[in-house]
Structure 1
Amino acid sequence: MTSSIPALGTLTAEGSSLQAVLLDMDGTLVDTEGFWWDAESEAFAELGHALRDEWREVVVGGPMTRSAGFLIEATGADITVDELTVLLNAKFIERLKRGVPLMPGARRLLTELSAHGVPTALVSASHRTVVDEMLVSLGKEYFALTLAGDELARTKPHPDPYLTAAARLGADPARCAVVEDTVTGVTSAEAAGCQVVAVPSVAPIGSVAGRTVVASLEEVNLDFLRSLIMVAH
């Protein structure tokens, strides 16, 4: 699940107070939020139901159990959450095997963080099978740690994923920069006490005190992330 993790005390990057960068996956590093909606739409069409466009903002960025439960309740489909979870993961992975487009700026950011030795974690609400498939395109060598949604009792919007990632890297959550694309993910990271950069994908994210909102990852680099931690401290 992980590669080697730097020991505590080796985390501070080039004298800055930034200790780690924690990155969401779907919609943040890879342009796959549309893949999920297509998989959900296809699955429910096979069950005899059409999904409404306004439901897309409800399910984006959340744990599979929440999204599946909402869509079952909204449509009245005759399927359990567990059955639907298996079906959606399978349909999603089918799409991943055709190729995964990275978000603009994602490869450059990962390369820069790696080149400067900044401990970087992938923190996703997607299941491990999906994360591992995505890492084929993303490059697992860029991450000291990867954490999947089905590996914790509580995933986003709870703070557990980001608290766990920071702890496993030996980092102070307040000195971790998080990049997220959904309200669910931002809520999780802020509850963990991290400094958050929001890059909205499907649904808008409001700008509030202590949160930075940008239009694209192309606006995010190492100096930018360091500055967030330095301003906060």
Structure 2
Amino acid sequence: PARPVRHEDVAAQVYAALDRTPDSHWTLDGREVPTVPRGVLLDMDGTLVDTEPLWLEASRAVAAAHGHHLTEAEGAAVLGRTCADTAVGLAELCPEPTTVTGLETELEDAFLAAVEAGVELRPGARALLDRLEKEGLPAALVSASPRRVVDTVLRTLGGEAFRTTVADGESDRSKPFPDPYLKAAARLGLPPEACLAVEDSPTGVAAAEAAGCRVLAVPSAAPIEPAPGRRVRTDLTALLREWGPEERV
């Protein structure tokens, strides 16, 4: 039997024909229906792989080695941040003499060692990447981690899952600035407004929204509230359940 015509399918086709990508449209009964993105930009740490605890532990260890024990608030502040940004913060906190460059190197080395020991995928991560490939939606990896860490994680995720990857230092500015997302969207040949960014941290959400992306937040360690153009879900598995087994993203 022929598949019934759905309101959201027709609306998505109209928007695509007009090259429009609004945040959402509405069914006649008032339900919000997300429109179809043309590309998906994925954060790595805390979103696809459970590395935020490893990063936090690396930051705590480096700080402790220089005479400071991170408070809970200070630990939360490093989530989603680059090694360079975190090193600047630690240099202000640590009482023992050190340099920002030295701290940055220690942070990267400690984090890389933890990642090389093995990483776990976040719930739904593998199914999401498989789904994007099946649907033919181009995906980019947009990370605040150094290239050495990104390449190590890609051995677990599979580099073939992404059309392009952007690591720390490969754009003019890092998250929370929009530059990494702008670069990833440009490499996909898409305007950022046509892309869905998937993030787990407030820092990453700020970067994606500043770039003009629609955002799906799956908080890992810090809370994130819904906002216009931003949906919040418990994890990637919840998102996949919403899409259903045969639905297009």
Q: State the match for 2:198 in structure 1.
A: 179
- Mapped to 2, the partners of 1:193 and 1:209 lie a distance apart of 12
- Mapped to 2, the partners of 1:221 and 1:166 lie a distance apart of 23
Larger Rg: 2
Q: State the match for 1:198 in structure 2.
A: 217
Q: Residue type of the partner of 1:106?
A: A
Corresponding position: 1:138 with 2:192: no
Could you tell me which runs of 5 or more consecutive residues in structure 1 were left unpaired when the two chains were aligned: 1-15, 225-229
**Of 110, 128, 151, which residue of structure 1 is paired with 2:129?**
110
Shift of 1:141: 1.0
Q: State the match for 2:65 in structure 1.
A: 46
Secondary structure in structure 2 of the residue aligned to 1:177: strand
Runs of 4+ in structure 1 over 4 Å off: none
**Of 40, 52, 74, which residue of structure 2 is paired with 1:21?**
40
Q: State the match for 2:99 in structure 1.
A: 80
Show CA shifts across 1:155-201 (max 9, x none): 11111111111111101211101100111111111111111001111
Q: State the match for 1:64 in structure 2.
A: 83
- CA contact 1:175–1:194 (8 Å) conserved in 2: yes
Q: State the match for 1:124 in structure 2.
A: 143
Q: State the match for 2:234 in structure 1.
A: 215
Q: State the match for 1:37 in structure 2.
A: 56
Secondary structure in structure 2 of the residue aligned to 1:35: helix
Q: Residue type of the partner of 1:57?
A: A
Shift of 1:18: 2.1
Shift of 1:222: 9.8
Secondary structure in structure 2 of the residue aligned to 1:146: strand
Q: Residue type of the partner of 1:201?
A: S
Shift of 1:57: 1.4
Could you tell me which runs of 5 or more consecutive residues in structure 2 were left unpaired when the two chains were aligned: 1-34, 244-248
Shift of 1:64: 2.0
Q: Residue type of the partner of 2:66?
A: L
Show CA shifts across 1:106-163 (max 9, x none): 0100111112221100000111111111111111110110000111120111111111
- Mapped to 2, the partners of 1:186 and 1:210 lie a distance apart of 11
Secondary structure in structure 2 of the residue aligned to 1:21: strand
Corresponding position: 1:90 with 2:125: no
Q: Residue type of the partner of 2:123?
A: P
- Mapped to 2, the partners of 1:170 and 1:202 lie a distance apart of 32
Aligned residues: 211
Corresponding position: 1:159 with 2:178: yes
Secondary structure in structure 1 of the residue aligned to 2:169: helix
**Which deviates more from structure 2 when the two are superposed, residues 53-62 or residues 18-27?**
53-62
